[in-house]
Amino acid sequence: MITPEKIYSLRQEIISRHPLVNCIANHVTAGVCANAVLALGAKPIMAEFEKESADIAAASAALSVNLGGMNDSKAAAISASAKTVHSLAIPWVIDLVGAGASSFRLDLAKSLSKKYFPDVIKGNQAEILALCGINGHSEGVDSIGRADISLCENAAKEAAKEYSSVIMMTGETDIITDGQKTVFVKNGDPLMTYVTGTGCMLGTITGCFLTAANAFDSAVSAAVTMGLAGEQAAEIFRKDKSISRFAGSMIDVLFKADRDLYINKARYYENEA
C-alpha cells in the first residue's frame, strides 16, 4: 500500500514538473478547482469549447472531467476530450456530479466510461450506487443519509470490475478500489459539506496526481490530501468561526502541506479481496 511518505513525494513531483491539467469543470466551482490545482503545483486549463477541447486535451498531462453544470456543448466537449486522451493513453478522471439524480448525466457517464475507460471514476455514495443501478440515495447532487458501508464497498468493487477503472466513492469514509484491493480513507471533516466545491476540488487534484502515479495510488493520494486539507481548515474555522473562509483555508493547506502533515495525520487502511 502507498505510504504517507510516498504520497508526499508524489506531491513534490507535481511541484517540480508543473504538469498541465485540463479541467472541464463545474461552472459553480471552477474557480476553487483551478486554485486547488495551482496550490498543488500543477497548471490548470479550463477548456470546454468543443472546437478546441480535443487539441487542448492532447497537449495536457491529464484530464479532469466534471458532470456538473451540464449542457449540450459541454457534453460534446467532454466526449471529444475523453476520446482524445483515451487514444493517446493520457490519464483521466470523471466526476459523476449529479448522476444519482439525472438520467442524462448517468447515461453520459456510463457511455463515456464504457467507451473511453477513465482511470478513475469519482462520485459520492449516491452517484456510484446509481452507476451500479442502485437508486434512492440522492437529492440533487448530494447523497442523502448514509448507505451501509458494506453495500458501498461491494458496489464500488463491482463498478471497478465492470468499468475497468479505479472507483473513488466519497463519504464520511472514502472508499477507493480497483475491484481487488480496497483502501478506506478516514481523513476529512463534516464541515467540508457546508461549502460548495470540496468534491469538485477532489476530482481536479486527482487529475494532478494522475500525472505522477498510477490510478489507484493517485486516487488514494488525492483523497488523503483533500481530507487533510479539510481537517486543517476545520481547525482554523474553530478559531475564527468563518465558514466563508473555509474553502480558502483548504487551498492554503494544499499549498503548504508538508511531509510531517502526511506522516502524522494521514489516516487510511487497506483490505484485499
State the average pLDDT over residues 86-107: 94
Phi and psi dihedrals of 170, rounded to 5?
-90, 155
The pLDDT-based confidence of 100 (bands split at 50, 70, 90) is confident
Q: Given this model, what pLDDT does residue 153 score?
A: 94
Query: For residue 137, is pLDDT > 80?
Result: no
Q: Tell me the per-residue pLDDT of 55-95, one tens digit each, with 9 for 90 and over.
A: 999 999 999 999 998 999 999 999 999 999 999 999 999 99
- Which residue type, as a one-letter code, is found at position 138? S
For the chain, helix (H) and strand (E) counts, in that order, are: 11, 11
**Beta pairing, strands 20-24 & 43-45:** parallel
Q: Determine contact, residues 217/2, Cβ cutoff 8 Å.
A: yes
CA 98 to chain centre: 14
Q: Given this model, what pLDDT does residue 136 score?
A: 53
148: which residues sit within 8 A by CB, 6+ positions away? none
Q: In 118-157, which positions are buried (b, 16+ CB within 10 angstroms) versus exposed (e)? A: bbbbbbbbbbbbbbbebeebbeebbbeeebeeeebbebbb
4-272 maps to which CATH number?
A: 3.40.1190.20
Question: Cα(97)–Cα(102) distance, rounded to whole angstroms?
Answer: 9
Query: For residue 267, is pLDDT > 50?
Result: yes
Q: Given this model, what pLDDT does residue 273 score?
A: 52
The pLDDT-based confidence of 102 (bands split at 50, 70, 90) is confident
